[in-house]
Every structure is written in structure tokens, then in C-alpha cells.
Structure 1
Amino acid sequence: MNTTPKGILDTWVRGINRGDVDGVLGLYAPHAVLIPTFSNKMINTPELLREYFEKLGSREQLSVELHERKTMEQELGGSLWSLSGLYCWKFAVDDELLSFEARFSYVVDTSLHAPILHHHSSQIPRMLS
């Protein structure tokens, strides 16, 4: 596995796009917190992470694509990094391929085998006029 912040994110994206639930779960520390895109519940156990990603992974034509120019890395100190940016989720709903623009943030520890400590993702809301 790549141990750069961007490499960790790229590994996560490839895992989602390949439907590799175990590979994606292997990136999350046992005590990681996920505030997911497609659930109103915070996830903070390996069992709940598995349940979420298995359910998401069952979606037809599931994919996620980074908006590369919108991805930012911030060194927090030592081996801790923050990643934030935008990505686009796609999957079929009632045989129609839909897109969901979302923003994300991660806190990763590049020294750990399971480097994702925190992951927040939310759909981009409509702008108020």
C-alpha cells in the first residue's frame, strides 16, 4: 500500500471502484469514525463499517471519482495528515445511473497499516438563494 496521504486516498478510491470491501475496510483503523455520505448515523466500529460498505457496495454500477484539482492535503504534524476535497459517487437507482456530488475529509496516520482515523463525507447541499 502507498503510504503517502494521496496514495492512501487513491487506494481507497480503487477499492470502492473494484468492489473490494475487505480492502477498503483494511484502510480504517479499528477505532476509526466514519460520518458517511449515505446514512444519517455515525459509524465507529468495524462491524458498522462493514455493514455500511457492504450495503453501499451492493449498489449496481457503483463508482466514485475524485475531483483531483479540488483535493487538498494538510500536514498536521508527524505522520498525521488531513485530506479534503470533492468526489462524485455514481450508482444505479431503479435502473437509472445517478450522480451524487459530495465533499470529504479524512484524517490519516501514514505510519499505520490501517491509516484512516476519521472520514467525513456529505452530499453537497443546494445553495440557498
Structure 2
Amino acid sequence: MKKILIAAAFVFSSVAFANDVQVPKVYHEIATAPAAPRESEIASLFDRWNAALATGDADTVTKLYAPNAVLEPTVSNEVRTTTDGIRDYFVKFLKMKPQGTINVREIRLLGDSAALDTGVYTFDLIKNGTHQKVQARYTYVYQKVDGNWKILNHHSSMMPQ
């Protein structure tokens, strides 16, 4: 039904534009409604974040977070609630050359502009000169900000065993 409405709105809008007719607002909204995100789109946001880690640049990673983001990191007791705090965490964390791999994930789409990605990931990193693997639970809440996906909340905690 939605596809039919969108097609009808497109045709109506095209004819109206060609004849210089005012398009009713309801048809314009249907024709220009954003497409709902797909799970694959949300899954790719972790890949984007992981690639940002690989740059070793805290500013590159920090730009992926919303201005009002909250970071509850794995290797710090401090919850970060400002851009400067998030950047400070990554300045320190990136020294360990982390790279993550998703082990288990569940993605929930929360409308057209928000999503949840939660599960378990493993980080390869270098700590005190020794290569280590650290497994942790994670939750990312993503939100579209000015048309771009940003991390609104990122929680990560080491597995208890």
C-alpha cells in the first residue's frame, strides 16, 4: 500500500510540476519521506567506527558521536558525557591499537532515525606491550543528526568471566 501511495504521489507531483500546479502538502510529505533504515545499514555503522579506530586519530572517532552523546567505556571508570570527554577517552584508548570484531549482535530499528545495535564484541589490542583479546558486551544507540548517523549512547563492559 505504501509503495502505491508513493508512486501515486510521485506521478501527481510530476504532473503538477510540469503544469505548474501547487502540490498538496500531504502528497509532498509522502513522496519525500525518508526511507527506513535497514539492519545492514545499521550494522555498517560499527564497521565505520572500527575503521575510525584504525586511523589512530581521536578526532576522527569522536566525530562519529552526537554532540550530546554518552560513552560508558570498557577501560575507564569515567562515564563521558561531553565531546571533550569522549575525545580524551579515545586519545588514551587508541594507544592500544584496538580493533573490534562482532561475535553476536541484535539490531533493533527504532523508526526512521534511531536504531539499537547490541551484543558481544572482541577487541584485539596491545596492552603493556602484550597482544590481548578482550571480550565485552556492547550497546550502541544511533540517531540521525542533520541527516547523518551518530552514536548517541555507547556502552561497553568486559565480560565478567
**TM-score scaled to structure 1, two decimals?**
0.84
Paired letter, 1:98: Q
Aligned to 1:20: 57
Q: Which has the higher helix share?
A: 2
Superposed displacement of residue 7, structure 1: 1.8
Query: Of residues 100, 106, 123 in structure 2, which corresponds to 1:65?
Result: 100
Aligned to 2:119: 85
Cα distance between partner residues in 1 of 2:69 and 2:118: 17
**TM-score scaled to structure 2, two decimals?**
0.69
Query: Aligned pair count?
Result: 121
What CA deviation, in whole Å up to 9, does each residue of 1:19-52 have, x standing for no partner?
1322211110010001001011110001101100
Cα distance between partner residues in 2 of 1:115 and 1:6: 13
Gaps of 5+ in 1: none
Identity %: 31
Paired letter, 1:78: D
Q: Is the 8 A contact 2:53 2:99 kept in 1?
A: yes
Gaps of 5+ in 2: 1-36
Q: Which one has a bigger Cα radius of gyration?
A: 2
Q: Which has the higher strand share?
A: 1
Deviates more, 1:83-92 or 1:49-58: 83-92
Cα distance between partner residues in 2 of 1:119 and 1:41: 13
Structure 1 segments, 4+ long, off by >6 Å, are none
Cα distance between partner residues in 2 of 1:7 and 1:97: 26
Greater relative contact order (Cα 8 A, min sep 6): structure 1 or 2?
Answer: 1
Superposed displacement of residue 114, structure 1: 5.3
